[in-house]
Structure 1
Amino acid sequence: MNELDERSDTELLQAWLDRVRVTGAVEHVGAFNRLQAELARIERELIARGRGIEQLRSLLTYTDPEITRSAELALARAEASASAARGGCRASSGCDDAHSAAAGRPAGAGILDDHPIFWPARHPPPAAMELSEIAQRLIAALPLEAAALLRQLRPAIGLWPQAARADAPIDGSRLGGMPCAPPDWRWPVAATEPMLFLGQINCADLRGLPGAEALPSQGLLSCFGDHDTVMGCLFTGQGGALYHWPDTEHLIPAQPPLEMLTVFPRAELSFRPMWDLPDPDSSVVTAILPDRSRQALYKSLHSDLRRHGLPAVLDYPCNRSKLLGWPDLLQGESFEFTLDQPFDQYRLLLQLDGYTNGSEIADWGPGGFLYYFLSKQDLAGRRFETAELAIQFT
C-alpha cells in the first residue's frame, strides 16, 4: 500500500506545505529533486481524491509568496496532466524526465538501434596499440622529443562495457546497476541523499595485466559519487566514496537508505591492456613540446593511440574508461573545484567515460569524464578510501 493512502486530506496538504517550505533552502540538486518528486506524488494523491484542485486553489491567497507560487505551479501541472489525459497522451513531468535521462536513455530515445555508438558494447575489446608501434611512431614524428615522451608512458587497463548478463556473479566487474557490499556496510550519503553507485571492479579480474601490480590481487573496488558531482553541479557537489573489500565471499546486495532516484544502466566489464601517454593539453607535454606545431603532431598521434582498433564508422574516441595511466583532459588541468591539492600531486586511479550496454546509454553531467584521483603516496600505500572524485565535461 502507498503510505500516502493512509493520510487524511488535511495531513496530505500539510505534508505538501512542509515540503514547499524547506525546498527553497535546499541547495543540493539531488536533494531538491527528491523533494520535487515527493511534492508531485502528494499532488497526484490529492487530486485523485477529488478535492485536490480545490485545496490547491485555496492556497492562491496564502500570505507566504513561496506557497502561492508553488500552488500556481501545481495547478498548472494538474491542468497539463488533465489535458494530456483528454488527448490520450501522457503529460511529461520534469522529475520523471530527469530521472529517466540520468538512469539511462534507451536506444529508442532518439538513437537508432544500429547506431555506431553501440558497437563497442556488442563486440569484445580490440587490441590496443603495441608498445613497439607507439615508439616507432613517436620517433618518426618527433625524433628530438621521442625519448622524453617515451619516458612518460604508463601502463593502463582499459574498461570495456558489455551487455548486462543475468548470470553474472554478484561480485563481477561492472558499471551501473546496484552494488553488493559486506553485511555491516552503510551506504554513503551526501546532503541527505544516498550517493549514486557507479560501478565495481573485481581485482582478481585484473591479474596478469600490465599495471595491475599497483592494485590488490583480490577483492572488490566499489565506486560511488555524490549526485551533484556526478551530474556536473560543481558548486554543490560533495565528491564521492571508494571502497576496497578484500573478502568477496560474503558480499550481499546492498540496500540504500532511501529509494534511488537514479540507477545507471548495468554493463558487465571486460578489460584490455594498453599503454598510455599524457594528454596533449597536459603540462607534462607542453613542457616537452613548447612549439605548437610539435604539439599538433603529438595530438594527432595521441588521437590515433586512443582510436586504435576501432572501426572507421566510429570517427571519435570512445570507451575511454580506464584504470591507471594518464587522465584524458577536457578542461586542461583545472580541477580546483573538486580536488583538495594541486593537480600534480595526484595519480589517476580510475577514469570513467560515458558508456552503453548495447541498448542503453549513460552519461556524466552534460557529457564528460569522472576521475578518481589518489595522492602518489596513497596510491603506493593502497589507501583507496582517500580517493577524491572529480569531473570534467565538454
Structure 2
Amino acid sequence: MFSFRKNNLDKIKSFIRKSEEIQIDKSDKEKLIEMIRPTIGIRTKSSDDKNAKVGTTKIGGKPDLPKDFEWPKADGKPMLFCAQYNLAELSKFNKENRLPEKGFFYVFLSLDQDWKEFNGVNQPYKFIFSETEKIIRTEFPNDLEENQTFKTALVEYFEFYTLPDDENYKLFELEKKYNNHLYFLFYQPTEEFIAEEIYQNTDNFHQILGYDRSIQSSVVFEFASKELGLYLANSSEHKKYWNEILELSKTFELLLQLDCNDSNTDLSKFGGSGTYYFGLSRADLENKKFTDIKMTFQTT
C-alpha cells in the first residue's frame, strides 16, 4: 500500500484560501471547502495473476470468487470479468464509514453483440457485493472467448479528495453568480494543484466514493434519468421532466468509477477512453445495501 499522506486536506484548503489563481469571493471559497469529500483514490500497476494473491484487489485477470459462485450471463453468454475490490484493504481510507469492513465488490460487463464493444447503452452488467471471504481463483467459462478477458493490473488505494462536478446541482447558484465561469475561476486551478502538487502519479479516473469525476455532466443526473426511464431520452423529453430528474439526482451517490482508458489495463480494447460509473441511493449506501446499483458510461 502507498503510505498514508497526512495533511493533504489541509494543503488543498490552504491553496483554495490563498491562491491568487482562484478568483472568487472569500465566502464562496469557504462554501466550496465545506463541500470537499474524502474519496478513495486508486493507482494501478501492470502485473499478472502469478503475482496477485488470491483475494487482492485487481482489475482484470481471473476472478477470486466463492466456490459456489454462478458466473453471470447476458443473452446466454458469459459476461466479462472486469474488476474485484477487497473492502478490507481499503478500510483505513473509508473515512466516512460508508463501506463494509470486509467483503468484495465484483464488476462484470457484457459486450454489445452488434458492435462488440462496451457502450453503456442498455448494457447488461452485474455489480456484486459478496460478504464471503472464502474464495478461490476461478477459471473462465469455457464459452468465454479468449479475447474477452483482460490482463491483470494490481491496485493500490490512497487518500484522495473530490469536489462536486462543476455542473453538479450543488453549484448551480455559484455558477449563476459567476456567469458560468466557475470552472475557470475555481476548478481549473484547484484541479491542477491537486493533480500536480499532491497526487502527481494519479492520471486515471478510478476511484471509490466521493463526488464523480465525470467526463461530461455529473453522473447523478444519469442515475436519476435511468431510474425514471429517461436515459438517452430526446432533449424535449429531458427538458419536460428536468425538475423530476433534478430532485431525484439529489438522492444518488457515486459508489465506484472504473476507467477503461488506463494504460496498465487493456479495458480500452472494448471500452475505449470511457469510464464506468456505478452509483446507488444515499439510503442504500447508508444501510450498506448494494443490490440496486445504477451504471452509466461516459466517454470523450
Q: TM-score, normalised by structure 1?
A: 0.60
* Equivalent residue letter for 1:172: T
The correspondence for 2:51, drawn from 160, 164, 167, is 167
Q: Which amino acid aligns with 1:216?
A: P
Equivalence map 1:283-302=2 (5 Å):
283-290=169-176, 291=178, 292-300=180-188, 301-302=190-191
Whether the 8 Å contact between 1:164 and 1:266 is mirrored in structure 2 is yes
Q: Does 1:392 align with 2:298?
A: yes
Name the CA shift for 1:274/1:129 in 2 (closer, same or farther; >3 Å): farther
Structure showing greater Rg: 1
Which of 207, 216, 225 is residue 322 of structure 1 equivalent to? 207
- Which secondary structure does the structure 1 equivalent of 2:97 belong to? helix
The CA RMSD over aligned residues, in Å, is: 2.9
Select 2:283's aligned residue among 365, 377, 393: 377
* Equivalent position to 2:10, from 119, 132, 135: 132
Query: In structure 2, what is the equivalent of residue 275 of structure 1?
Result: 161
Long gaps (5+) in structure 1: 1-122
1:365 to 238, 250, 271: 271
Q: CA deviation at 1:340?
A: 1.9
**Residue 236 (structure 1) shift:** 4.5
Residue type at the aligned position of 1:327: D
Does structure 2 conserve the Cα–Cα contact (< 8 Å) formed by 1:181 and 1:251?
yes
What aligned pairs does 1:216-235 form with structure 2 within 5 A after superposition?
216-228=100-112, 231-235=117-121
Once the two structures are TM-superposed, the CA of residue 233 in structure 1 deviates from its matched residue by: 3.0
C-alpha deviations, 1:95-150, integer Å up to 9, x for none? xxxxxxxxxxxxxxxxxxxxxxxxxxxx9689598111221222233313122212
The number of aligned residues is: 265
The question of whether the paired residues in 2 share the 8 Å contact of 1:127 and 1:309 is answered with no
CA distance in 2, matches of 1:307, 1:365: 27
Partner of 2:250: 344
CA contact (8 A) 1:201 1:221 kept: yes
Shift of 1:278: 1.2
| Conservation of the 8 A alpha-carbon contact between 1:223 and 1:241 | yes
Aligned to 1:7: none
Which aligned pairs between 1:205-220 and structure 2 lie closer than 5 A?
205-211=89-95, 213-220=97-104
CA contact (8 A) 1:159 1:272 kept: yes
In structure 2, how many angstroms separate the alpha carbons of the residues matched to 1:228 and 1:373?
22
Q: 1:294 to 1:335 in 2, by over 3 A?
A: closer
Instruction: Give yes or no for contact 1:155–1:276 (8 Å, CA) kept in 2.
Output: yes
Aligned counterpart for 2:123 among listed residues 237, 253, 256: 237
2:238 matched to 1:355?
A: no
User: What is the CA–CA distance in structure 1 between the aligned matches of 2:184 and 2:30, rounded to whole Å?
Assistant: 18
Determine the C-alpha separation between the residues in 1 that align with 2:55 and 2:153. Answer: 13
Aligned with residue 151 of structure 1, among 19, 27, 34: 34
Q: Would you say the 8 A contact 1:350–1:372 is kept in 2? A: yes
Q: Distance in 1 between matches of 2:17 and 2:87?
A: 35
Distance 1:129 1:306, change over 3 A: farther
Superposed CA deviations along residues 67-104 of structure 1, whole A, max 9, x for unmatched, are: xxxxxxxxxxxxxxxxxxxxxxxxxxxxxxxxxxxxxx
Instruction: Say whether the 8 Å CA contact 1:226–1:237 is kept in structure 2.
Output: yes
2:238 corresponds in structure 1 to none
Displacement of 1:268 in angstroms is 0.7
TM superposition shift of 1:172: 0.6
Higher relative strand content? 2
Q: Supply the distance in 2 between the matched residues of 1:293 and 1:212 (Cα, whole angstroms).
A: 31
Shift of 1:175: 0.5
Gaps of at least 5 residues in structure 2 are 229-244
Give, as a single letter, the amino acid of the residue that structure 2 aligns with 1:203.
L
Q: Which has the higher helix share?
A: 1
Distance 1:262 1:338, change over 3 A: farther
